[in-house]
Amino acid sequence: MATESARVKEEKLAEKLAKGGKVETLEEMTDEYREHLTHLMMMQADSELAGAFGYVPWIAKSPDIKETLQVAQIVKDEVRHARVMYRLLEGMGVDVDEYYKKHNFNLRVESSDIGTERVADDKRVNIFYYPIETWYDFIMFNFCMDRGAGHQLEDSLHCSYKPWCDAMDGIFKEEAMHMAHGDQWTKKLSENAKTHGELQTALDKWYPRTMNIFGRANSPKNKIYRKLGLKSRDNDEVRQAFAKEVAQKCSEFGLGVPKWTPEEKKMTEEPFIPG
Ligand SMILES: [Fe+2]
Ligand SMILES: [Fe+2]
Residue 13 counted as domain residue: no
Residue 5 counted as domain residue: no
pTM: 0.89
Distance CA 60, CA 55 (A): 10
Residue 272 counted as domain residue: no
Distance 79 CA to ligand 1 centre (A): 8
- How do the pLDDT tens digits run along the chain, 275 residues long? 446 688 899 999 999 999 999 999 999 999 999 999 999 999 999 999 989 999 999 999 999 999 999 999 999 999 999 999 999 999 999 999 998 888 777 766 666 665 555 555 777 777 777 889 999 999 999 999 999 999 999 999 999 999 999 999 999 999 999 999 999 999 999 999 999 999 999 999 999 999 988 988 999 999 999 999 999 999 999 999 999 999 999 999 999 999 988 765 555 555 544 44
Predicted pLDDT of residue 124: 75
Distance 44 CA to ligand 2 centre (A): 11
Distance 213 CA to ligand 2 centre (A): 15
Residue 12 counted as domain residue: no
> What are the respective helix, strand and coil percentages of the chain, to the nearest 5?
70, 0, 30
Distance 106 CA to ligand 2 centre (A): 17
Distance CA 53, CA 149 (A): 17
Write the DSSP string, 54-113: HHTHHHHHSSSHHHHHHHHHHHHHHHHHHHHHHHHHHHTT--HHHHHHH--TT-----S-
Residue 172 counted as domain residue: yes
Identity of residue 206: W
Residue 62 counted as domain residue: yes
Distance 204 CA to ligand 2 centre (A): 20
Whole-Å CA distances, 218 to 19, 210, 236: 24, 18, 8
CATH number at residue 256: 1.20.1260.10
Distance 121 CA to ligand 2 centre (A): 22
Residue 10 counted as domain residue: no
Taking alpha carbons only, the member of 242, 237, 231 closest to residue 217 is: 237
Distance 56 CA to ligand 2 centre (A): 13
In the chain, the number of structural domains is 1
Instruction: Supply the range of the domain harboring residue 94.
Output: 24-111+121-266
